[in-house]
Structure 1
Amino acid sequence: MASSTCFLLVVVLALITSQAIASDPSPLQDFCVADKYSPVRVNGFACKDPMAVNADDFFKAAMLDKPRNTMMSKVGSNVTLINVMQIPGLNTLGISLARIDYAPLGQNPPHTHPRATEILTVLEGTLYVGFVTSNPNKLFAKVLNKGDVFVFPQGLIHFQFNPIYDKPAVAIAALSSQNPGAITIANAVFGSKPPISDDVLAKAFQVEKRTIDWLQAQFWENNHN
């Protein structure tokens, strides 16, 4: 009985520890405004002198109020990020925001956020969204309309697609990191610099090398601004 209790305690502690390191570190003060000019390199940014902090460190004017141009994007979407790089006051607070504009039939292609869970709210239009789990690779997908909300767990591949051919869509996404990162799958696999060996990719995707060479020759656009 004692050994099973001890084992249960170890499992609980492991779960608590894994949760504790699954998001940005908790702040130990009211704020730690990012000093992006500091020579100190830490996991995040060094803190600006609190005596030099003002309201503008927590503010960004008119970033999300206007539609973004989606017609120049090959994938038909435009992501406007609000993270610690735009608002230094977000440093250590573990949250950021994005506006995503979708052209008719536009998509935010399959990607991951290595450091954040995402919660998405549709402001206008219709979106088909989903994510894929790890082992087994199961798809969870829904069609969302105005006001609907969907969650993408941290690190999992997910996407959004506007299935309407004559109307745009808009969504707001909140993310559980000051700097969640975005790895767009096609860009990372076929557009890395220097490129991944076509021998590796041809074997991984079970296709001929000339197919991989063609894919690597394409322009893989980054729709995150």
Structure 2
Amino acid sequence: MASQFVLLLGLLAITCPVAFAFDNSPLQDFCVADNSSSAVLVNGLVCKDPKLVQANDFLFRGLHLPGNTSNAVGSKVNLVNVGQFPGLNTFGISMARVDYAPLGINPPHIHPRATEIWTVIEGSLQVGFVTSNPENRFITKLLQKGDVFVFPMGLIHFQRNVGHGNAVAISALSSQNPGIITIANAVFGSKPTVSSDLLSKAFQVDKNIIVRMQSQF
């Protein structure tokens, strides 16, 4: 009996972290987000009265439009999460269109609440992610039109256009609000700034290099 109890505890220890790793499952047909509500939010959005829900609550238009890639990194992410698309509320999904200029990149970043699956619609993209400590393995692949790649939740990943023309990709994420932390912005562009002495020691470079990096963000 005791051994069975220990086994049960072990199974719970293994499965519970997985059960709470993603957005909660809905308990009704839908819960269209009421973005006009002033109610206090804990972890999610208030449901719109089901009797007031319309077909347009489940519709988003705009992913056919190319993004403006005239910026420092040469890419534009058009994210469709619950903030733009109230009908996604409680469904645990979102998506994005990403446009790349030639040599454009989607800089190294993480999604703290979502796994991401990536489909190349046009062009050629180098993609990659880095595994967690202590291995820090760099896993990368060159993708062509129609190829699909997955980025595990919480790992640093990136994409780069290696073709001579523009590139387009569609991303799907396992959270209605996956979040994004762009590594360079978070480290060098925080408000207030992280101590340059600390970053100098962490990156093992001269403090003046850190100060210059912080000035870029």
Q: Which range, TM-score by smaller chain?
A: over 0.9
Looking at structure 1, the residues matched to 200 and 10 of structure 2 have their Cα atoms a distance apart, in angstroms, of 41
Which residue is equivalent to 1:87? 85
- What are the Cα deviations for residues 148-173 of structure 1, in whole angstroms up to 9, with x where unaligned? 00000111100001112x21111000
Looking at structure 2, the residues matched to 134 and 146 of structure 1 have their Cα atoms a distance apart, in angstroms, of 29
- What are the Cα deviations for residues 73-123 of structure 1, in whole angstroms up to 9, with x where unaligned? 101100001110111010110000100101111110100000100000000
The reply on whether 1:217 has 2:215 as its aligned counterpart is yes
**Please, which runs of 5 or more residues in structure 1 have no aligned partner?**
220-225
The reply on whether 1:200 has 2:194 as its aligned counterpart is no
Secondary structure of the corresponding residue to residue 51 of structure 2 = helix
Which residue is equivalent to 2:184? 186
Stretches (4+) displaced over 3 A: 5-8
TM-score, scaled relative to structure 2: 0.95
Which residue is equivalent to 2:45? 45
Question: How many residues were matched structurally?
Answer: 215
Cα deviation for residue 2 of structure 1 reads 5.2
**Please, which runs of 5 or more residues in structure 2 have no aligned partner?**
none
Looking at structure 2, the residues matched to 78 and 153 of structure 1 have their Cα atoms a distance apart, in angstroms, of 22
Cα deviation for residue 22 of structure 1 reads 0.6
Which residue is equivalent to 1:121? 119
TM-score, scaled relative to structure 1: 0.92
Cα deviation for residue 35 of structure 1 reads 1.2
Identical-pair percentage: 64
Looking at structure 2, the residues matched to 121 and 178 of structure 1 have their Cα atoms a distance apart, in angstroms, of 19
Looking at structure 2, the residues matched to 47 and 168 of structure 1 have their Cα atoms a distance apart, in angstroms, of 40
Looking at structure 2, the residues matched to 170 and 7 of structure 1 have their Cα atoms a distance apart, in angstroms, of 51
Secondary structure of the corresponding residue to residue 43 of structure 2 = coil
Which has the larger displacement, 5-14 or 50-59? 5-14
Secondary structure of the corresponding residue to residue 216 of structure 2 = coil
